[in-house]
Amino acid sequence: MPAQPATSPARLSATALSWSGRSPLNRKNHFTGTARDGSIWETGAPEIALRYLEKAIELWSKAGQATYAYSYVGHLFSAAVQAAVQCGRYSEALAFETRMPTALTSSDSLYYAGVAGSALGRHEAAIDRWNRACLDAPARQYAVSDPSTASWRPLEALAQLYSQTGRHEQAYEMARRAADVEGRPPSILHALAYLCASLGKHEEGIDWARRVVAGERDEGTRASARRIIYNIGLITNRPSLIVEACSGEVKDMSEQEAMWSLAKGCSDLGDWRKQQEVLTAGCAKFPHDHEMRMVLAELLDRQGRALDAANTLAGAIDQPGVPPQLYQRLAVQLTKLGRPGDAANALKMAALSGLGK
């Protein structure tokens, strides 16, 4: 076997890899709206790595595709496809994948070529690459650096693309297959919850969402899964689901909004004790929410607890923007407590508050 030249493909490949690392690709997840992992360069410089990889491939080609470097070739092309994708050079990524010797095609190169095709709007090309990545036996066997490119990763990518292009049943089938793969991330289960909700498979969607919430791993999926449960609760008019969802962080919902929704859900279920507990915590955390304070006071009044109702309303006096209605309700409670003078003062404050409107 001939000696390797000083600038052999193998040496250039090693130099390229010295500039590379491993990291998230930061592709946005269609179902959660968050960016999550791919599998290429991290702390290194992919542009520099790509230059060395290009030189290595060029030398190998000029040497007549010499066999002394053949063991590096699959890695060279796969790494070049990945680096080009990371650099946003999607057309070049597809060109590298096309030039790659067929016998050395790997699930890695196919997966990232699919990412490039999708980024360029070539959806059918992306679908073809991703299907081959998880179905082509030789490619799956030759996963150069990331075994997940031969299993759940292309299936998740297919589910996202099918969903984005309105093919929800196909998206569901891909996500369902991915869910059976060992080591798959919680985003797969979240995708199933999302797709089931979109397809009207509410009970199955709730089950998948609950599995995400109960799971050990969280990639921004728990809050989004609770949102799915919440939305299904609204659609199907099931306050128990509203209460379940709002018992934790809900995507695109502030803590104050979640407390309001939780309190209403408890009310709809007739659980006034839980409703009172939620409203009390809400008034302590958001003392400027005068509406919440008035609802809590009304709940206490219905229990014959006029003093607690009066104290709840009086707690707003030091807060800005107190509405006249709150002072008027305070006057009613003070009258019930036999304190007409204080009630009269509350009515004066109501009048003054109204003047500022």
Q: Give me the pLDDT at residue 2, please.
A: 40
Match 């498979």 to its residue by tokens. 201
What is the distance between the alpha carbons of residues 303 and 298, in angstroms, rounded to a whole number? 9
Q: Answer for the pair 335, 343: CB distance below 8 angstroms, yes or no.
A: yes
pLDDT tier at 4, thresholds 50, 70, 90: very low
Match 């869910």 to its residue by tokens. 179
Q: Which of 32-41, 54-63, 216-225 has the lowest mean pLDDT?
A: 32-41
pTM for the whole thing?
0.81
From the centroid of its chain, how far is CA 75?
Answer: 32
Q: Domain count of the chain?
A: 2
**Which of 163, 169, 139, 20 has the alpha carbon at shortest distance from 86?**
20
pLDDT tier at 138, thresholds 50, 70, 90: confident
pLDDT tier at 104, thresholds 50, 70, 90: confident
Q: Answer for the pair 5, 67: CB distance below 8 angstroms, yes or no.
A: no
Instruction: Answer whether residue 158 is part of any domain.
Output: no
**Which of 139, 133, 164 has the alpha carbon at shortest distance from 29?**
164
Instruction: Report which secondary-structure segment, H or E, holds 21.
Output: none
Mean pLDDT along residues 57-86: 78
**The pLDDT of residue 35 is above 50:** no
Instruction: Answer whether residue 184 is part of any domain.
Output: no
Which residues neighbour 58 within 8 Å (Cβ) at sequence distance 6 or greater? Answer: none
Mean pLDDT along residues 244-265: 97
Residue of 14 and 82 predicted with greater confidence: 82
Instruction: Answer whether residue 139 is part of any domain.
Output: yes
Instruction: Answer whether residue 88 is part of any domain.
Output: yes
**The pLDDT of residue 40 is above 80:** no
Q: Domain end: 102, 123, 150, which one?
A: 150
For 136, the domain range is 1-150
**Which of 290, 208, 212, 287 has the alpha carbon at shortest distance from 248?**
212
pLDDT tens-digit map of 9-18:
555 555 545 4
**The pLDDT of residue 30 is above 80:** no
What is the distance between the alpha carbons of residues 55 and 84, in angstroms, rounded to a whole number? 14
